[in-house]
Structure 1
Amino acid sequence: MDRDPDIALVALAVILVAGAIAAVVGGLRSDRRRSRIAGSTGAFSAAQVRGGEWSLVLDRTGDRQIQVIKEIRTITGLGLAEAKRLTDRAPSIVLDRVDHASASAAYQVLATAGATVRITEVGPPEPPAPGLCTVVLHDAGPKKIQVIKEIRMLTGLGLAEAKQLTDRVPSTVLADVDSETGAAAQARLTAAGATVRVTGS
C-alpha cells in the first residue's frame, strides 16, 4: 500500500520530464523553421523600399517545375509554352526593369514554389551606337490588336510578349536598328494607330 503513492509520484515525474523534453524539441524545430524563412527573406527585409530598376532572374526551377511554370505565368502573363521556355533556358530573366517591391514579391512566390531566384539591379540603358536608333512605343491606341500583330511581325515575339509591350508603355519595340528600319517600323505602327517615337541618330 505504501508503494502506490511512490509509483504515482514516479509516473508523474516521468510525464513532466517527457513534456519538458517535447517542449524543448518543439521549440528548436520552430526556431529552425523561422531561421529558414528568415534566410529566404532576410536579403530584402532591410531594403523593401528601393529606387531604381531591378531584374528577377530564375537560376534553377528545382523539383517542382510545373508549379514554378504556373507561378511564372501568373507573374508575367506569359503563355504556357513561353513560361516553360523560361524554365528550360535557366538562368533566364523573369521580370526586367521593374521596381524593387515587384521583384521582391515575385521572388517570394517563386522561392516558395521551390525555385532558385535572385534579384539584380539594372543599370541605366546604354545609349544606342552611332548611326543606330531605337523604336519606342508610347501608346497602343484604339486598335491594340492590330498593333500587337505589327509588333509580332517586326520582332518575331510571341503573342503574350508582344501584348506585354503594349501593356507596359513606354516600351522598346526595336533597339539598335538602322534609321531606315526604325522609320519603317514607326510607319507601320503609326498606321495601326499607335504613338511611336524613334530615338538615336
Structure 2
Amino acid sequence: MALDTQAIVDQLKDATILELNDLVKAIEEEFGVTAAAPVAAAGAGAAAADAEPTEVNVELTEVGQEKVKVIKAVREITELGLKDAKGLVDKAPSIIKEAVAPEDAEAIKAKLEEVGATVTFK
C-alpha cells in the first residue's frame, strides 16, 4: 500500500494541537515507539546537565478551583480556540507550551498560578 504523503501532510496542517497530540499517542501505542528526542552521547549529556536549560516545556499539572479562569489564561497563552484550550485543561497534566525560553516559561507560570493553577517545567 502506497502512502499519499502530500495528502497526509495537508491533513496535519489543518489539525488542531489536540488532534496532533492524540495522533502521536496512537502511533506510540500502536507501534510501541516514543516520539521523545533521542538521548545525546554520555559526554555531551553530562556537559548539558551542568548548564542552565535554554528551553523548557510548560506543563499544567493541576487546574485548581477556577477552571474557567485557567481556560481563559491558556487561550491567551497559546492562542488556541476555546474548545482546544478547554481540552488541554481537561487533560491536565498537559503540556501548554513547548520549547519556551526559561524567562518566558516563568511568565507563563506566573499567569497560570495567578488563577489558581499549578505549573511545572519539563
Q: What TM-score results when the alignment is normalised by the length of structure 2?
A: 0.65
Q: Closer, same or farther in 2 for the Cα pair 1:166/1:90, shift >3 Å?
A: same
1:136 paired residue number: 59
Number of aligned positions between the proteins: 95
Aligned residues: CA RMSD = 2.8
The answer to whether residue 114 in structure 2 is matched with residue 184 in structure 1 is no
Q: Secondary structure at the match of 1:172?
A: strand
Higher relative contact order (CA 8 A, sep 6+): 2
Q: Is the 8 A contact 1:183 1:198 kept in 2?
A: no
More strand as a share of residues: 1
Match runs of 1:47-126 below 5 Å: 89-91=10-12, 94=19, 95-98=22-25, 123-126=34-37
SS in 2 for 1:162: helix
Q: Percent identity?
A: 33
Could you list the runs of 5+ residues in structure 1 that have no partner in the other structure?
1-58, 61-88, 104-118
The answer as to whether partners of 2:59 and 2:95 remain within 8 angstroms in 1 is yes
> Partners in 2 of 1:97 and 1:163 — Cα distance?
19
Is the 2:24–2:35 contact (alpha carbons within 8 Å) kept by the matching residues of 1?
no
Bigger CA radius of gyration: 1
Q: CA deviation at 1:124?
A: 3.8
Moved over 2 A (4+): 91-100, 119-122, 124-127
**d(CA) in 1 for partners of 2:120, 2:90:** 17
Pairs within 5 Å for 1:2-81: none
The amino acid across from 1:125 in the alignment is A
* Secondary structure at 2:92 match in 1: coil
Distance in 2, Cα, partners of 1:155 & 1:121 = 30
TM-score by length of 1: 0.41
Alpha-carbon separation, structure 2, partners of 1:122 and 1:153:
33
- 67, 73, 80: which one pairs with 1:150? 73
The one-letter code of the counterpart of 2:82 is L
* 1:125 shift after superposition: 2.4
SS in 2 for 1:186: helix
Q: Pick from 92, 116, 119: which aligns with 1:193?
A: 116
Q: CA deviation at 1:98?
A: 3.6
Distance (whole Å) between structure 1 residues aligned to residue 32 and residue 111 of structure 2 = 34
